[in-house]
Amino acid sequence: MQLKETLISLWNSLYSGNYQSLLFRFIDEIEFIGSGREQYWNTEEWYKDAVVYSLYVDLFNTDFTGLTKKLDYLQNLGVNCLWLLPILDSPMKDAGFDIRNYRKIRTELLGLPESSPEDEQRKVFREFLTEAHRRNIKVIFDIAINHTSEEHFWFREARKSEDNPYRDYYIWSKTTDLYKEARIIFYGLCESNWQKHGDWYFFHRFFEFQPDLNYKNPKVLIEMTRNFLFWLQEGVDGFRADAIPYLWKEEGTSCENLPQTHTVVKFFRAVLDYVRPNTLLLAEACQKPKEVVKYFGNGDECNAGYHFPLMPQMFKAVAAQSNKPVVETLSPQVTPPIPSSAQWFTFLRCHDELSLELVYVSEEDRKYIHDNYCLKPEWDFRLGQGISARLSELMERNPLKIALAYSIMLTLPGTPIIYYGDEYGKLNDTDYYKEMIKHTGKDDTRFLVRGKIDWEALGKELSNPDSFHTKVFTKIKTMVNTRNRFRCFGRGDIHWIDVYDDKGEKKNEVLAFIRTYDNEKLLIVHNLSDREVKADFSQYALPEIDLLGQKPNIGENGTLSLQNYGYFWISL
């Protein structure tokens, strides 16, 4: 179906055939923008072969000039895609997810004064993109599509009067009786989804300074699509669509994952595919896999989505010293098949907490993981619904456990994400946490996992081969660069292996599987336990050196000795 027919069909589904002239004018606009689109095309399904590195520009290295200076560091690490955590203009009450202007990058990230000309601001970002692309590093960034900042022009206008043209860009009510079934997402931080303003209330799913947009107003859909188009023309390679399940609201529902939300996403995707094919649209849908897969559609919604349930189950597997949490989570009963063009994105840590929402974690698992990993009271987030701590802290600053966690993530199906600083074992930053409480007025313990990188201090640490940070960095860098040599990790099949010792006893503490793609066949073995394990791999021809440069300890009878938290990547 051609662009026009596709958009008309989706539009009519949402708006019952109304506002046709508005749509047709917008289609003309899209076709004009896309007239020279060939120059922007990306490689098909490039995101399947990516290793993503997520960072806050200012916390990573001050601004885009500082980030550009560190591109060689990232390339050396093996990174080939940068996910820029919120960079758009914002009051920064929610780390930039409260967007004030969708067409403007925060000037402090550009190293420019607020009064600098727009052309100069755009030039700085384009120069960064050019340098990243020169190193074959893709660039994607966050765009919150469910809500804006209360300081956004639309909302400043909307709150002026009931008859303001922008009033209907948001959701207003005289009472708080609407949408009673919509859960409070920031439980423990917000008391309601409604915020009083004069004689009215406005609706918000997140903080009270982030009013939700009203997609029942077709102008909102068009304006948000225009925001995507603006950045496509600047040269970005994709977008992380923040809070995607909540776009459409209907009375009497949970206001999550509604059919109209999927129609909105299809609209976005159709426009992106027309103007710049192979632009990544990444779904941030904090849901069970059976719900997330719906955001892939038939290959006509998001290209990729986060596998939220896998993250806590990897942590549970290490704590329980059992492969069952991972194997069960990736079984077809929990993780349904996805379209051939789609991809899961996997992570150990993201910009938020080790999330334990009951949306995708059982009460039993939540308690177990919380008991095993929330090692300090101040790490508690949302009254037990998450743990705010860096990976190195969760793994008790043990380089072996940190590397094991990364080996699991890097070898399972999907595209892996490295959270900035985790590659060298960055620790919680209490000073930054306290500073941000003063700035925002919110005791948001997620600020513990942020904080700036002190590159001078890190340089000294990494020059010492015996330092904690060097031990972590060396292991992760080796794994990432090795992973980049094989397409089976991002594209291939997985075959689970039951492992036994030489007495025939099953060893559930060993997570082992084979990854295959074309002529690649790799055996991956992990010891999830805190003790040495001997496992029978006599049916395989094991090499003297594995792909990571490690020497497997193989007995005469084909028994492989795995040190505590040890792992091997073996080419068969």
- What positions carry a catalytic annotation? 242, 284
Q: Report the chain's C-alpha Rg in angstroms.
A: 24
CA nearest 375: which of 398, 358, 408?
A: 398
Instruction: Please return the burial class of 39, using the count of CB atoms within 10 Å of its CB with bins 0-12, 13-18 and 19+.
Output: exposed
DSSP tally for the chain: helices H, then strands E: 20, 23
**Buried/exposed code over 471-508 (b: 16+ C-beta within 10 A; e: otherwise):** bbbebbebbbebbbebebbbbbebeebebeeeeeeebb
Q: Is 76 helix (H, G, I), strand (E, B) or coil?
A: helix
CA nearest 49: which of 488, 349, 521?
A: 488
CA nearest 110: which of 125, 100, 97, 127?
A: 125
The answer to whether the beta carbons of residues 323 and 364 sit under 8 Å apart is: no
- d(CA 489, CA 514) in angstroms, rounded, equals 10
For residue 74, which phi and psi values (nearest 5 degrees)? -70, -40
CA 514 to chain centre: 26
Amino acid at 226: R
Per DSSP bridges, beta strands 343-347 and 354-355 are unpaired
